[in-house]
Structure 1
Amino acid sequence: MPAHQDVEIAEETLHEEKVSTLRQPIAVWATAIAAVFAFMGIGLVDPILPAIAVNLKASTSEVSLLFTSYFLVTAIAMLITGWVSSRIGGKKTLLIGLGVIVIFASLSGLSNSVGELVGFRAGWGLGNALFVATALAVIVGVASGGTATAIILYEAALGLGISLGPLLGALLGGWQWRAPFFGTATAMALAFIACAALLPKMTPPAVKTRLRDPFLALGHKGLRYTASSALFYNFGFFTILAFVPFILGMDAYGIGAVFFGWGLCLAITSVFVAPVLQRRFGTTKVLTATLAALLVVLVVIGLAAGHSIPLVVVMVVISGALLGVNNTLYTELAMGVSDAPRPVASAGYNFVRWMGGALAPFIAAQLGEHFGEQVPFFVAAFAILIGIAVVLSGRKYLRSHEPHEV
């Protein structure tokens, strides 16, 4: 076939993919928009962490528990999401998750001690798990254009939510540290109304998910390697997200601006860059390369901490671009690497990987308080190194199941 015909066919294929990405059922868009609001809750507290520490007379370690309680409950609750949704249906599970977030986000805004706030963030994590895991399954199941298109839409929602979270946290938190929690509760209440009105009734599947199914799914070597590597990757991810605000020496607006740039890069690369690199080089090669680049970024942040805040800011924004690529690649591997049903694979994978998000903030804070603010980033870089080693040791299983292997 002549070369110019190959180019034309490739251009046609890309055009069709773009069209199919945009032409989605209303249920997909309603779920994606709700997911944006849900993911805003991850970075929402970032700009106000120092303000919370001051107002509630809490240490860095105590404030870091806002992330730890949230992600620990999210991780554990992931194990029951499939069991719940397979019995009451996806729509009801989504609505319960949104409702729980509204309640606990509101209670977070009313907290008078760091202990109360940590507890309410844990309840928020339960709602987050019920919503996020089910949202991914709903989008993958309903979206036109196949699994890859659905995952791009999901990652777009994740990236947009993560980028807007710090911005909302800064805009509201610069006025009053409690305001971002009430702002999130309002946004999630609107998402609840939208999903209740726009999502069609979803009947539970004929085959019910058992509580042990996510653990059985992790018996697949490909999924187990993916989840294990993602655990160490998320340790690095959330060291940046949870500890950097304490070393910047900025107010809520400054921290929010830095992490808005970080989240914007994450959103752009997850949607537009990751698929291109994946098609060109293959998932495993790109994942290894971006993890290695993230390791270097963490080392540079560690060296710059306390010496050059502008360099820290630049590295944080660059890390957002790398994290966006990695998020998409890990999600695609988790959804396609095993023969387990997607909701079950997602539950097992998310249980393991969110443990990294639960452990990193508290460990980073402890290391920073006792050994200096540079150490948490060097430890996070070592965690990324372990993540790379896991990918390389399991590449035979990952490559044999890659959806876009070249």
Structure 2
Amino acid sequence: MQSGGGILRQPMSVWATAFAAVVAFMGIGLVDPILPSIAQGLNATPSQVSLLFTSYFLVTAVAMLITGWVSSRIGGKRTLLVGLVLVIVFAALAGTSGSVAELVGFRAGWGLGNALFVATALAVIVGAASGGAESAIILYEAALGLGISLGPLAGALLGDWNWRAPFFGTATLMAVGFVLIVTMLRTTPRPAQKTRLSAPIRALAHGGLSTTAFTALFYNFAFFTVLAFTPFILGMSAYGIGAVFFGWGVCVALSSVFAAPPLQRRIGSVNVLHLALALLAVFQIGIALSGHAGVIVFTILSGIPIGLNNTVFTESAMEVSDAPRPVASAGYNFVRWMGGALAPFIATKLGEEVGIAVPYVVGALCCVVGMAILYTRRHHLRSLSRVDADHTAHDAETVPAT
């Protein structure tokens, strides 16, 4: 990583892609503050409304398998633009929904566009950013954290007027991102070798990548239990829910950018994952056992381990195997987003039929399972120690002598 603010010294094409990525990630938390309003407006149960997340992430996960195949044939820029167009169209259509079934269907189309954009955006940012792959990944995770924090805030501000407004707002912002990428990002060359459809699945045969991916699946189940179910138990207005998840998103952003890299150098990537998973388990048990004030505090604090995990999991997936980064990213994201698809419906159903504490206990157990996978398959992750050592040595070389 470059010293002296190297992460911030990026070409305009990187900032244009990062802006669109922020808006794309806003779509994840955008519906959080308005979930109760959607349930009321469309006469639906919480578990029915949770399918907004399930359809979105299920399609996102499966579509990850074709992102490399598409981008290797039409190029990175065109893939980004196709993804943006799909998000614009389906976000706008979501705002016109007359039933939960329609809204869930439009969110599925939104998920397809999101997959094409998000997977390709990481590869484009890594390819165009200055300061190397690590700086690019941190910049990408900063966009993720900023989008996740702003999504609930935008959802609250627009959703207080009408629950349909956030969807039209997202479509408008994505249209701005489309214009920025058309005008600022140069046409990216097509890879010399086209990616096979089977490449992401084949990449998962690597022990390190599969270990990272399946650990992230259980982590994402815990992550999206907090994101999808908590709005229903807060008992607050759209503004209140938006404020809570804005604070949570700020914790995600700050820990992903400022805490994860130094911790990786100090204790190593695998140990950071153990630490973050343990913290997330503790905070989920805190939510399960607390009163209203405690739920708010532990929900916000859970953003800290989530930010750590997001950065370290992403970087680990990129570095642990010898697969090309876009292929490794596609395989990893296919597996991990399955956790985001399963958690919202299962957690909400458990909360409805068993008890509101149960989803968080299950989420904490998922964190423990993730830690067990990391430990039992730790021999597959030895290459990450060398990556951490290389980063530490690189930092030492770029620090000016005093």
**Common fold: TM-score over 0.5:** yes
Equivalence map 1:18-29=2 (5 Å): 18-29=4-15
Which one is further off, 385-394 or 243-252? 385-394
Equivalence map 1:356-371=2 (5 Å): 356-371=339-354
CA contact (8 A) 2:254 2:307 kept: yes
Of 305, 320, 325, the match for 1:322: 305
Aligned partners of 1:341 and 1:243: how far apart in 2? Answer: 36
Instruction: Give CA-to-partner distance per residue, 1:96-133, whole Å, 9 cap, x none.
Output: 00000000000000000000000000000000000000
Equivalence map 1:298-317=2 (5 Å): 298-304=284-290, 308-317=291-300
Equivalence map 1:5-84=2 (5 Å): 16-84=2-70
Instruction: Give CA-to-partner distance per residue, 1:255-303, whole Å, 9 cap, x none.
Output: 0000000000100110011001111111011110111111111111111
Of 147, 153, 161, the match for 1:175: 161
- RMSD value over aligned CA atoms? 0.9
CA contact (8 A) 1:163 1:267 kept: yes
Aligned partners of 2:96 and 2:370: how far apart in 1? Answer: 39
User: Structure 1 residue 114 and structure 2 residue 100: aligned?
Assistant: yes
Corresponding residue of 2:332: 349
2:222 alignment partner, SS class: helix
Identity %: 66
Corresponding residue of 1:102: 88
- One-letter amino acid matched to 1:136: L
Of 179, 189, 209, the match for 1:223: 209
CA contact (8 A) 1:97 1:127 kept: yes
Corresponding residue of 2:388: 404
Aligned partners of 2:302 and 2:375: how far apart in 1? Answer: 22
2:161 alignment partner, SS class: coil
CA contact (8 A) 1:30 1:198 kept: yes
1:204 alignment partner, SS class: coil
Of 265, 288, 292, the match for 2:278: 292
Of 322, 332, 336, the match for 2:315: 332
Instruction: Give CA-to-partner distance per residue, 1:347-367, whole Å, 9 cap, x none.
Output: 000000000000000000110
Corresponding residue of 1:162: 148
Aligned partners of 2:369 and 2:186: how far apart in 1? Answer: 44
- One-letter amino acid matched to 2:64: M
Aligned partners of 1:25 and 1:336: how far apart in 2? Answer: 24
Corresponding residue of 2:399: none
Instruction: Give CA-to-partner distance per residue, 1:2-24, whole Å, 9 cap, x none.
Output: xxxxxxxxxxxx8x434321211
CA contact (8 A) 1:284 1:399 kept: no
User: Structure 1 residue 278 and structure 2 residue 264: aligned?
Assistant: yes
Aligned partners of 1:143 and 1:340: how far apart in 2? Answer: 20
Aligned partners of 1:35 and 1:394: how far apart in 2? Answer: 33
Of 198, 215, 229, the match for 1:243: 229
- One-letter amino acid matched to 1:113: S
- Count, aligned residues: 389
Instruction: Give CA-to-partner distance per residue, 1:47-82, whole Å, 9 cap, x none.
Output: 000000000000111000000000000000000000
Instruction: Give CA-to-partner distance per residue, 1:179-201, whole Å, 9 cap, x none.
Output: 00000000000000000110001
Instruction: Give CA-to-partner distance per residue, 1:358-398, whole Å, 9 cap, x none.
Output: 00000001101110111111111111111111111122221
User: Structure 1 residue 261 and structure 2 residue 244: aligned?
Assistant: no
Which one is further off, 378-387 or 64-73? 378-387
- One-letter amino acid matched to 2:209: L
Corresponding residue of 2:397: none
CA contact (8 A) 2:269 2:384 kept: no
Corresponding residue of 1:5: none
Corresponding residue of 2:137: 151
2:94 alignment partner, SS class: helix
- One-letter amino acid matched to 1:40: M
User: Structure 1 residue 86 and structure 2 residue 72: aligned?
Assistant: yes
TM-score normalised by the chain length of structure 2 = 0.95
Corresponding residue of 2:400: none
1:206 alignment partner, SS class: coil
Aligned partners of 1:400 and 1:208: how far apart in 2? Answer: 27
Instruction: Give CA-to-partner distance per residue, 1:162-194, whole Å, 9 cap, x none.
Output: 000000000000111100000000000000000
2:323 alignment partner, SS class: coil
Corresponding residue of 2:238: 252
Of 178, 192, 207, the match for 1:206: 192
Structure 1, unmatched stretches of 5+, are 1-13
Instruction: Give CA-to-partner distance per residue, 1:307-362, whole Å, 9 cap, x none.
Output: x1110110011100110011000000001000000000000000000000000000
Instruction: Give CA-to-partner distance per residue, 1:130-185, whole Å, 9 cap, x none.
Output: 00000001111111111110000000000000000000000000111100000000
Structure 2, unmatched stretches of 5+, are 393-402
TM-score normalised by the chain length of structure 1 = 0.95
Aligned partners of 2:321 and 2:195: how far apart in 1? Answer: 16
Aligned partners of 1:300 and 1:161: how far apart in 2? Answer: 26
Aligned partners of 1:401 and 1:290: how far apart in 2? Answer: 17
- One-letter amino acid matched to 2:326: P
